[in-house]
Amino acid sequence: MYRNDMTRKEIERAFAERSAADERLIQSLQNCDRRHFLRTSLKFAGMAAAASLVPSHAFQLVNVANAATPEGGNPGVAFRFAYVSDSHLYARGMTHRFARAAVKAVEDVNALDPQPDFVLFGGDLAQLGRPDELALGQQILKDLKAPVRMMVGEHDWYLDLGEKWKEMFGPDHYSFDHKGIHFVVLNSVVEKDFWTAKGYTPEQRMAIVSGLDDSRQSSFEVGEPQRAWLKQDLAKIDKKTPLIVFSHSPLYKLYRGWNFWTDDAELVQAILKPFQTVTVIHGHTHQLLTNRIGNIQFHGLLSTAWPWPYAPEGLPAYTVQMFRPDPFNQFDGCGDGSVDVLVKGHVDKHYNLWSRNPRIVTARELAGNSLPGGGYQGPSY
């Protein structure tokens, strides 16, 4: 909140504002009886135990760092949505570590008070795209109290090219409006056919796509049909309307070797560019990731299942890397989180890291943080 170019007076004013804000926060914390904390653990445990979903002694907690700012305390936030992403479920029962982690994320989101307007699922619900894995994921996400918006990832898609997904969750790309923001959900993990010529079976195709470092697959793209759909969908939207785009691949080019990449990123960005405020929220990368290209801000989602190291090249200059996770602790480097949608249309991104102090990346810090050369960290090749 302090910029290098502030005058002393501006700094003093900012400090006074911050102290006042802190005061209000402390006050609100002390007024516990004014805020009610949803504590449905007994009720939830009972229901869930009956459905053999969660162990009976699990319960939810309020996510203190994630709690909404006091009512009226931050007029800049219009609303909030939460996210759970990249759960990579195996259908091996509820005691499997990936299932436990997905349930942990659901509990976190359910404990938010007030509840978010909706929950984004960021893709890669299943690990191998199998119907039983997708069903398990659907079952776990059903316990979310807030409405869920689904987005597809490559691990969900390439066993049957999306048949089961579309049957269970609906179209792979769509748009909706919410409180003045236009949301677009893309299937940005389209790959050019690499399997027919080689005669791969569906399982082989899925196995290849599920290998992050498997170079037999093609690069991710959005593709011409969806780009045409996007152009048409956005044609009726006023340029001043803030856009938020949900995409599994990052919609920019970070590292091709791991498909941290969208082949037609520039073409998609060109379609988005005319709009004043655009934010892309993407999955797939399993780490803290931040970028800005012109007027488009990009935020990565955390995975519940496992963290990834940073790619050998192409890291955006805006990203403050998280330190290497400790593999003894299955939750380290993983988590869930929420997104504050600001009145002005950009977002503050909350990373609720399970074993670390939370991190919040604000729109203001992205907008104000100009880098030499205009602030675009392109791919290194």
Partner 1 sequence: MKATLVAGSLLLGTIALGILGVVAGGSSDVESARRTLVGAQPDWASRAVWACDQRKLVVVEGVRRGEKIPPERAQLVADVLMDLMRFCNEEITVRIGTNQMMTVAANGRVYENYVPGGPLPIVKASFGEPTQREQAIWKAELDKLVAEGDRLFHSDEIGGNGVACAMCHPNASNAHPETYPKFQTQLKKVALLRDMVNWCILNPLEGKELAPDDPRMRALEAYILAQRRGTPLDAGKH
Partner 2 sequence: MAAFERRRRRGPGDRLSFAALSALAALALAASAQTLVLPVPSGVLPPEVPADNPPTAAKVELGKKLYFDTRISTDGTVACVTCHDPRSGFADPRGKPTSAGVGGALGTRNAPTVLNAAFLASQFWDGREPTLEEQAVQPLVNSIEHGFANQAAVLAKLKTLGEYPPLFQAAFGSPEISTQRVGQAIASFERTLLSLDAPIDRFLAGDAKAISASAQRGWELYNAKARCNTCHGRIDVLPLFTDDLFHNIGVGVKRIDFPTVARRAAAAVEAGKSIDELALGNAEASELGLFLVTREQKDMGAFKTPQLRNVALTAPYMHDGSQATLLAVIEFYDRGGENNPYLDGGMRPLALTDQEKADLVALMETFTSRDLARFAELEKLAPKLAPK
Minimum gap (Å) between residue 261 Cβ and partner 1: 13
Q: Compute the distance between CA of residue 269 and CA of residue 290 in angstroms, rounded to an integer.
A: 16
Identify which of 284, 262, 253 has the alpha carbon closest to the alpha carbon of residue 380: 253
Identify which of 178, 304, 168 has the alpha carbon closest to the alpha carbon of residue 246: 178
Instruction: Output 100 or 256, the one with its CB closest to partner 2.
Output: 100
Minimum gap (Å) between residue 326 Cβ and partner 1: 7
The H or E element that residue 349 is part of is strand 347-353
Q: Which of 1, 11, 16, 26 binds partner 2 (CB under 8 A)?
A: 26
Minimum gap (Å) between residue 34 Cβ and partner 2: 12
Instruction: Compute CA distances 150 → 97, 121, 124, 357, whole Å.
Output: 22, 5, 10, 28
Instruction: Compute CA distances 207 → 104, 201, 213, whole Å.
Output: 27, 10, 11
Q: Which does 323 bind (CB under 5 to 8 A by kind): partner 1, partner 2, none?
A: partner 1
> At 97, is the secondary structure helix, strand, or coil?
helix
59 counts as binding partner 2 under rule CB under 8 A: yes
Q: Which of 40, 74, 175, 330 binds partner 2 (CB under 8 A)?
A: 330
Task: List strands edge to edge, sheet with 243-247.
Answer: 174-178, 181-185, 243-247, 278-282, 296-300, 290-293
Instruction: Output 115 or 291, the one with its CB closest to partner 2.
Output: 115
Total residues contacting partner 2 by CB under 8 A comes to 33
Beta strands in 117-235, from DSSP E residues, in sequence order: 119-121, 148-150, 174-178, 181-185, 190-191, 220-221
Burial of 231 (0-12, 13-18, 19+ CB in 10 A): exposed
Instruction: Output 104 or 253, the one with its CB closest to partner 2.
Output: 104
Q: Which does 309 bind (CB under 5 to 8 A by kind): partner 2, partner 1, none?
A: partner 1
Q: Among the candidate windows 2-10, 198-206, 326-334, 372-380, which touches partner 2 by CB under 8 A?
A: 326-334
Q: Among the candidate windows 165-173, 212-220, 325-333, 370-378, which touches partner 2 by CB under 8 A?
A: 325-333
Residue type, 287: Q
Minimum gap (Å) between residue 305 Cβ and partner 1: 8
Instruction: Output 183 or 195, the one with its CB closest to partner 1.
Output: 195
Q: Compute the distance between CA of residue 288 and CA of residue 103 in angstroms, rounded to an integer.
A: 21
Q: Which of 48, 84, 111, 278 binds partner 2 (CB under 8 A)?
A: 111
Q: Compute the distance between CA of residue 118 and CA of residue 266 in angstroms, rounded to an integer.
A: 29
Minimum gap (Å) between residue 336 Cβ and partner 1: 19
Minimum gap (Å) between residue 309 Cβ and partner 1: 4
x/- mask, partner 2, residues 60-89, rule CB under 8 A, reads xxxxxx------------------------
Q: Compute the distance between CA of residue 133 and CA of residue 151 in angstroms, rounded to an integer.
A: 16
Instruction: Output 215 or 370, the one with its CB closest to partner 1.
Output: 215
Instruction: Output 262 or 303, the one with its CB closest to partner 2.
Output: 303
Q: Which does 30 bind (CB under 5 to 8 A by kind): partner 1, partner 2, none?
A: partner 2
- Sign, CA dihedral 348-79-101-222, equals negative
Residues that bind partner 1 (CB under 8 A): 90, 92, 96-97, 127, 211-214, 257-258, 306-312, 321, 323-324, 326-328, 330
Question: What is the 8-class DSSP label of residue 303?
Answer: P
Applying CB under 8 A, the residues found at the interface with partner 2 are 26, 29-30, 32, 37, 39, 55, 57-65, 97, 104, 107-108, 111, 326, 328-332, 353-358
